[in-house]
Amino acid sequence: MNRIMNLISPREKLISIRPPHWIYLLQGIFWVVLLTIIGLIVDYLLYYHAGSRISPLTSWFEVDFWFVRLDEDTTLIPFFFFLTGLAVFWPYFLTYISHVIVLTDQRIIHKKGLIFVHVDQVDLEDIRAEHVDHGILGWFIGYGTIRLNCRFIEDVFLPAIERPYRLIKALHNTRFKDSSIEYHEDMFKSDLNLIDQEQQKASRKGKFKDLKHRFKSSLGKSSHKETGKGNILKR
């Protein structure tokens, strides 16, 4: 928290602090579990289909730890897969604990890193558009990544956060209140309406409604084609 406050100048007002979504932690755990299970399966298949354990690293010694015993009947294959899972888990875990998004009355700050800190920032007046990407799991759970289309600089990509449209609304409200930014009331209301529409489309109810509409449309097209084919056959 102290590092975050150090990024904000005394002239700025803190509006919002948003951590990454817990989906990063879940994804990391998923890969650890999946790769460990794959390692156990590979170890099992080698034992029952290769005729004997392929374990040159453990066939000539025994090591007994408090959590595992290595001998000629226990190979290192599951542990190699487990360590691979930990290597995949680390970037997700690092993103979850070290990234943070800060909205002030002047800019958006994306801080990442624990020891070596890197900061992406963009002034509110330089943001031209926001794009939210949910994905299939994102709209079901309620998170999304944000891409800020910026003027003069490269686009800024923010990590997945919970309720991303709430942050976008706060951004627009802050821009509207800033008299130094040319942001007319009509434009502000129009943007909020667009945000509400996109938020409704991205909600679970909106997605199910869209999927239902697409399903009905596909059935209608298929039935129309079937009718057309039948007419051709009759001729």
Query: Tens digits of per-residue pLDDT, 163-195?
Result: 999 999 999 999 999 888 888 889 989 989 998
If we measure between CA atoms, which residue out of 152, 165, 146 comes closest to residue 126?
A: 152
Taking a C-beta distance cutoff of 8 angstroms, is the pair 106, 12 a contact? Answer: yes
Is residue 123 included in any domain, yes or no?
yes
Is residue 217 included in any domain, yes or no?
no
Half-sphere exposure of 110 (CA within 13 A, CB side): 17
Q: Helices marked H in the chain — which ranges?
A: 2-7, 23-49, 77-98, 135-141, 164-177, 185-202, 204-234
Is residue 212 included in any domain, yes or no?
no
Question: Which residues neighbour 212 within 8 Å (Cβ) at sequence distance 6 or greater?
Answer: none
* Strand, coil or helix: 98: helix
Separation between Cα atoms, residue 63 and residue 76, nearest integer Å: 12
Task: Identify the pLDDT of residue 70.
Answer: 53
Is residue 215 included in any domain, yes or no?
no
Domains: count for the chain: 1
What's the CATH code of the domain at 168? 2.30.29.30
Is residue 233 included in any domain, yes or no?
no
Is residue 107 included in any domain, yes or no?
yes
Is residue 131 included in any domain, yes or no?
yes
Is residue 224 included in any domain, yes or no?
no
- With a cut of 70, which residues of the chain have pLDDT below it? 1-3, 47-75, 204-235
Task: Identify the pLDDT of residue 208.
Answer: 60
Domain residues for the domain of 58 are 2-207
Q: CA 41, 32, 45: angle at the middle one, nearest 5? A: 5
